Chain A
Amino acid sequence: MAEPAAPVLEVRGLKTVFRTRGGEIHAVNDVSFHLEPGELLGVVGESGSGKSVTMMSLLRLLPSPPADIRSGQALLGGRDLLAMSDEELRAVRGAKVGFVFQDPMTSLNPVFTLGNQVMEPLIKHMGMNRAQAEARAIELLELVGIPDAKRRLYQYPHQFSGGMRQRVMIAIALACDPDVLIADEPTTALDVTIQAQILELVKELRRKLGMAIVWITHDLGVIAGIADRVMVMYGGQVVEQAPVRELFANPQHPYTRALLKTIPRITGARESRLKVIEGQPPILVEPLKACPFRARCEYRHAACDEANPARRAIDGAKIGHGHDVACHWQAPAKAEMANA
C-alpha cells in the first residue's frame, strides 16, 4: 500500500464522561482514529456504543455539564479542536466540518423556515448576500432531490416528511464545501432509490472536492457500498478497524462476527426468526476494567475478565492503518475455519 497522505482529521485518546444524578456514564473510552483526504470511514456498532457522542465531542457540541471531555485531541489540519477558543471553533463548525445530526427534527429550528436555515451558513461563512444565498440554497435542495425547491424554502420543518428533513440537513452540512463531513445516520429515513442518489452525490463530492467523510450507520449494505474503511464500536471503544472488504471477509472481533451474521437478506428463503445477539450491552457506569463484550461472548476465557483488551494489529500495520482488533481471543486463520 502507498504511504498514507497526511490525515485531515486525527483523533487521539478521546474520553467523554457524562456526570448524571445517578453517577458517571463513561460513554467514550479512549477512541482514536484518523481520516485521510477523500476517504470515507464507515462507523458501525451497537446502539448506545458511543458513536454519536464521539463525533459530537470532537466539535464540542455536547452541553457541559453533563458532558465532560476528560482527555484527547482532535486535530483538524494539525489544529486541536478540543483546545481552540469558542470563537475559532464556531468558524470551523459548518464551514470546515459539516455535521448531519442523527435526529433532524431536533437540529432544525421549528420556528424558522428551512430557507433561513440553509441560507444562514452561506451568509455567515461564505460571505454571500441574500440573493446569492437563496440561489445556492435552491441549488443545494435540488442536489439532494427535493422537488419544487423554491416554494419549499418558505416552509417550516413540520411541513416536510422525515426523509426530506434528513436531506435538508445534508444540504446544510454540504453548503460550505467542508473538508470533512460527519454524517450520523444520515439516510435512515430515505428510501433506497433516494438513498442511492445521495450516495452517488457523496461519491462525486469526494472525487471533485476531496471531501473526507465519516459515515455512521447501522446499514451494513450502505457500508459495503461506499466505505473505504470501517470502524466498529462497542461499549464506548473501538473494537475493530479494517479496510471494508477485509472486514466483511475476515472479521476478527466476536461482536463483528455476530453482527455480520444478523443481517437479514432480501434474497433466499425467508427466515422464520431473525437472529439476535443475546444479552445486553454494558451500561458503562465505571471505567472498563475488563472486556465490555465478555458477558455475551462465546469465546470468553480468563483473560477477558482480567483486563480490557487493547487494540492490536493482526497484519503488522500501524494501529488504525491496517486491520486491528481489541480482543484477547485469536480468531483462527480462514483456512482453519473452513476445516472446522
Chain B
Amino acid sequence: MLDAHPAPLVQVEDLKMYFPIYTGVLRTQTGNVKAVDGVSFQITAGQTLGLVGESGCGKSTVGRAMLRLYEPTAGRVLIDGEDVAKMAPEALRRKRPSMQMVFQDPQASLNPRMTLAGIVSEPMDEHTDWSREKKTERVYELMDQVGLNRRFVNRYPHEFSGGQRQRIGIARALALNPRFIVCDEPIAALDVSIQAQVVNLLEDLQEKLGLTYLFISHDLSMVRHLAQKVAVMYLGRIAELSPSRDLYARPLHPYAEALLSAVNEPDPVLAARRNRIILTGDVPSPANPPKGCNFCTRCPKVMDICRSVKPELAEVEPGRLVACHLYTTQADAGSAGATEAKERNQQGVSQ
C-alpha cells in the first residue's frame, strides 16, 4: 500500500523548537516558549507542501529549525535520507547548497554593504569553484528569472524597493540549484503581476529540476495554486494536513474553517456581503499554551473534552489528518474503522 507512493524527499518527525524564557536580575530560566511543539509531515520529491496558519504560530521557526538555522530541541528532519537535525558541522556545510531558504524579512537578510552581484554570487563563492565569468553569467540569468533589470546589478540593498529586495533573496536561494527550498513568505512584498511571475518561475523550476518546496504563506489563493498538500498550523502544532483540493473545498478543523472564511474578496461589491467567522476569545501564548486543545479558547465548536485532552493528529478521512476531538471522540465511542485509521496513522502513513 505504501509502495504506491513516490518516496518523500523530506520527512519531519516530532520536531520541537523551544526558546528559553529568562527572567529576573540573574536571568534564570523560568520557562519555555514552545514555538514548535511536535510537528510531523512529509513532502514528496518534486512536490510542494503549503504551510499556513496564524501569525506567530511557528511557521518560520519550523523552516529555520529544519535547515538547522536554529538547533532543534527535539525531533528528526530527514532530507534525502539524512538527518539534518543531528548532522556534524562539516557534513552540514556540504549539505547546505542542496537546501536553501527564502527569508521572510528581505531587508534583514541581505548584507547592506554588498551589491546585488555580491549577494547573489556569495553562495557560489562559498560552495563552487566556478570562474568569475561563469558566476557573472549566472547572476544575470537569475536576475532575468526573477524580473530584476540587469542594470541594477551593482546597486546596494537600500537602493531597491521592498519588492525588488524580496526578489534578490529569491535569486540568491536559487543560485546553486538546490533540491529543497523553504520559501518563507516569498511573495508577500510583491505586486500581483510579479507574484505571478515568481510563482510561475517556482513551478517551472519544479517541473524542470524536480525541486521540492515548503511554501509558507498567508496568501491562501497562492497556496491553493502551488501546493498539492497544505498543513494548517495553530500555536506550534498542526491542526490539519490535507490535500489542497479537499481542504479548500471542505476544511475539517474548525481553525482551518475560520481561516478560509476570512480570505479577502477582491471585489468591493462581494466584499461588502461576505460572511466571515470572526474568532473571539483569548489568543493564547506559546509560553503558556492552554491545557487540552491549543485552539479551545477560541473554537466556536469547543466541547468539554477539548479543555482537558490534547487531540492527536489522526487520519479522519482517507488522506486527511486532523487534530480535533470532533472527529476522534465519535470514533472512540464506537466505530472500529476510525480506531484503525488512527493506528494506521501512528505507523506513519501521512501521504
Chain B positions within 8 Å of A103 at CB level? 105-108, 162
Which residues of A from 262 to 291 have beta carbons under 8 Å from B? 262-266, 270-271, 273-277, 280, 283
Chain B positions within 8 Å of A192 at CB level? 218, 220, 259, 262-264
Evaluate contact between B271 and A225: CB separation under 8 angstroms. Answer: yes
Evaluate contact between B218 and A225: CB separation under 8 angstroms. Answer: no
Select the residue from A162, A190, A220, A258 with max chain B CB neighbours within 10 A: A162
Instruction: From B77-85, B281-289, B313-321, B343-351, give the one contacting chain A.
Output: B281-289
Q: Which residue in chain B gives the minimum CB-CB distance to A218?
A: B191
Evaluate contact between B258 and A193: CB separation under 8 angstroms. Answer: yes
Bound together, the chains give a CA A288 to CA B288 distance in angstroms of 57
Residue B151 interfacial (CB < 8 Å): yes
Residue B114 interfacial (CB < 8 Å): no
Evaluate contact between B288 and A148: CB separation under 8 angstroms. Answer: yes
Instruction: From A4-12, A44-52, A70-78, give the one contacting chain B.
Output: A44-52
Evaluate contact between A18 and B159: CB separation under 8 angstroms. Answer: yes
Select the residue from A161, A219, A283 with max chain B CB neighbours within 10 A: A161
Chain B positions within 8 Å of A258 at CB level? 193
Bound together, the chains give a CA A277 to CA B220 distance in angstroms of 22
Evaluate contact between A163 and B200: CB separation under 8 angstroms. Answer: no
Evaluate contact between A264 and B222: CB separation under 8 angstroms. Answer: yes
Chain A positions within 8 Å of B197 at CB level? 276
Given contacts A47-B164, A105-B107, A193-B54, contact A283 B151 (CB under 8 A): yes
Residue B128 interfacial (CB < 8 Å): no
- The distance from the CB of B23 to the nearest CB of chain A, in whole angstroms, is 9
Residue A244 interfacial (CB < 8 Å): yes
Contact partner of B265 among A147, A225, A280, CB < 8 A?
A225
Residue B60 interfacial (CB < 8 Å): yes
Chain A positions within 8 Å of B334 at CB level? none
Residue B133 interfacial (CB < 8 Å): no
Bound together, the chains give a CA A277 to CA B190 distance in angstroms of 13
Select the residue from A196, A222, A280 with max chain B CB neighbours within 10 A: A196
Evaluate contact between B189 and A188: CB separation under 8 angstroms. Answer: yes
Evaluate contact between A22 and B154: CB separation under 8 angstroms. Answer: yes
Evaluate contact between B225 and A224: CB separation under 8 angstroms. Answer: no
Chain A positions within 8 Å of B278 at CB level? 196
Evaluate contact between B221 and A264: CB separation under 8 angstroms. Answer: yes
- The distance from the CB of B27 to the nearest CB of chain A, in whole angstroms, is 12
Evaluate contact between A190 and B218: CB separation under 8 angstroms. Answer: yes
Evaluate contact between B288 and A266: CB separation under 8 angstroms. Answer: no
Evaluate contact between A105 and B108: CB separation under 8 angstroms. Answer: yes
Residue B324 interfacial (CB < 8 Å): no
Select the residue from B188, B248, B268, B284 with max chain A CB neighbours within 10 A: B268
Evaluate contact between B224 and A270: CB separation under 8 angstroms. Answer: yes
Given contacts A162-B104, A274-B199, contact A221 B265 (CB under 8 A): yes
Bound together, the chains give a CA A262 to CA B60 distance in angstroms of 28
Evaluate contact between B225 and A191: CB separation under 8 angstroms. Answer: no
Evaluate contact between A219 and B55: CB separation under 8 angstroms. Answer: no
Residue B240 interfacial (CB < 8 Å): no
Given contacts A162-B60, A244-B268, contact A185 B193 (CB under 8 A): no
Evaluate contact between A48 and B55: CB separation under 8 angstroms. Answer: no
Evaluate contact between B285 and A147: CB separation under 8 angstroms. Answer: yes
Contact partner of B284 among A145, A147, A274, CB < 8 A?
A147
- Name 5 A/B residue pairs within 8 A (Cβ), A-sorted: A189-B218, A193-B259, A264-B192, A265-B266, A271-B225
If A196-B262, A262-B196 are given as contacts, then 12 extra A-B residue pairs at C-beta distance below 8 Å, sorted by A number, are A46-B193, A48-B164, A147-B285, A159-B19, A188-B189, A189-B104, A192-B264, A218-B163, A263-B266, A273-B203, A274-B196, A280-B147
The 9 tightest CB contacts between A and B, nearest first, are A221-B264, A163-B55, A47-B163, A274-B196, A148-B285, A192-B262, A188-B188, A105-B108, A277-B193
Binding site for A on B (CB under 8 A): 19, 21, 52-56, 60-61, 104-108, 147, 149, 151, 154-155, 159-164, 185, 188-197, 199-200, 203, 218, 220-222, 224-225, 248, 258-260, 262-271, 276, 278-279, 282-285, 287-288
Binding site for B on A (CB under 8 A): 18, 20, 22, 44-48, 52-53, 102-106, 145, 147-148, 151, 159-164, 166-167, 185, 188-196, 218-225, 244-245, 248, 258-259, 262-266, 270-271, 273-277, 280, 283
